[in-house]
Copies of this chain bind each other. A is one copy, B any other.
Amino acid sequence: MQQITLTLPMIRDMELTASKTAGALGEHIGMSRDKIDEVRMAVVEACINAFEHSGARKREVHMRLLVLGEDADPRGLEITIQDKGTGFSHTEVVVSKKPTEPQKRGHGLRIIHGLMDDVEIQSDSDGTTVTMTKLR
Residues of A within 8 A of B (CB): 2-9, 11, 13-14, 16-17, 20-21, 23-25, 27-28, 71
A14 / chain B contacts, CB cutoff of 8 Å: 2, 28
In the complex, residue of chain B having the shortest beta-carbon distance to the beta carbon of A64 = B7
Q: A6-B21, A13-B28 are in contact. List 8 more A-B contacts (CB 8 A).
A: A2-B11, A3-B9, A4-B17, A6-B6, A17-B24, A17-B28, A20-B23, A21-B24
| A14 and B2 alpha carbons, distance in the complex (Å) | 10
As for how many copies of this chain the complex holds, the number is 2
Are B28's CB and A24's CB within 8 A?
A: no
A5 / chain B contacts, CB cutoff of 8 Å: 6-7
| A3 and B6 alpha carbons, distance in the complex (Å) | 10
| A23 and B9 alpha carbons, distance in the complex (Å) | 17
A23 / chain B contacts, CB cutoff of 8 Å: 20
A8 touches which of B4, B11, B17, B71 (Cβ 8 Å): B4
In the complex, residue of chain B having the shortest beta-carbon distance to the beta carbon of A26 = B17
